[in-house]
Structure 1
Amino acid sequence: MAKEYGAEPPRTDIDSATGAMVLEFGDAYCGICSAARPAIEQALALRPDVRHLKIADGRGRPLGRSFGIKLWPTLVFLQDGREVQRLVRPMAAQPIAQALQALKSK
């Protein structure tokens, strides 16, 4: 079963996080997000060491605004709280898997 979009953590929690993390900004009712879901899940299945947070985004949501999110889904790849890569509307697993290579394992 697919993980649902959840509440956003405070930006300070993201900035102070250690390890590899992917933030997925989107919405449960977004058709493009639904279309991208299989590719995202396929790529992330190869990296169980990477923490994956699905963030419900929208108007007035401070975390998405702090990252400058404009389109869904947007994947933000973080290493120790710092952005190392970003993909907007990825529809294939390969670009996601390549971006995941920039993240270090534990």
Structure 2
Amino acid sequence: MNREYAAQPPERREVDALPGPTLLEFGTAWCGWCRGAQPDIEKAMAEHEGLRHIKVEDGPGRPLGRSYRVKLWPTLIFLRDGQEVERLVRPDSSQAIAQALRTITTPDSA
């Protein structure tokens, strides 16, 4: 699990080309909702060691967040092979996050 926001976020074409499961997290370090969600994200991610997790600092004019139409933080986008499978906005439990993670990590859930 990444605890820091990427200094340089990837471009959308790079994200679209990612193989396998990926958790894309949009937010900011100063956002109270984002800080509050971190324990739940960390707990859910503990079951998926090695899963690609990209934390993207978002805000006005940030192209990656706009391309996903992110409006509230944190927004978690669960990708499989670069395609969005699930999305959680302001998740309120580790169970919800864990269930969404299973949708991208379980082969027969496609």
* Segments of 4+ moved more than 4 angstroms: none
Give 2:20's aligned amino acid.
G
What is the CA distance between 1:3 and its match in structure 2? Answer: 1.3
1:70-105 CA distance string (max 9 Å, x none): 000000000000000000001210000000111136
Number of aligned residues: 106
Aligned residue in 1 for 2:66 = 65
**Aligned equivalents of 1:16, 1:36: Cα separation in 2:** 27
Aligned residue in 2 for 1:25 = 26
**Aligned equivalents of 2:94, 2:105: Cα separation in 1:** 19
**Aligned equivalents of 1:50, 1:21: Cα separation in 2:** 6
What is the 5 A alignment of 1:31-46?
A: 31-46=32-47
TM-score by length of 2: 0.91
> Do 1:20 and 1:105's aligned partners in 2 also have CA atoms closer than 8 Å?
no
Give 1:52's aligned amino acid.
H
Give 1:28's aligned amino acid.
A
What is the 5 A alignment of 1:93-104?
A: 93-104=94-105
Identity of aligned residues (%): 52
**Aligned equivalents of 1:23, 1:77: Cα separation in 2:** 6
Give 2:3's aligned amino acid.
K
Which has more helix, going by share of residues? 2
Aligned: 1:3 with 2:3:
yes
What is the 5 A alignment of 1:67-82?
A: 67-82=68-83
SS at match of 1:46: helix
What is the CA distance between 1:50 and its match in structure 2? Answer: 1.7
SS at match of 1:72: coil
Give unpaired runs (5+ residues) of structure 2: none
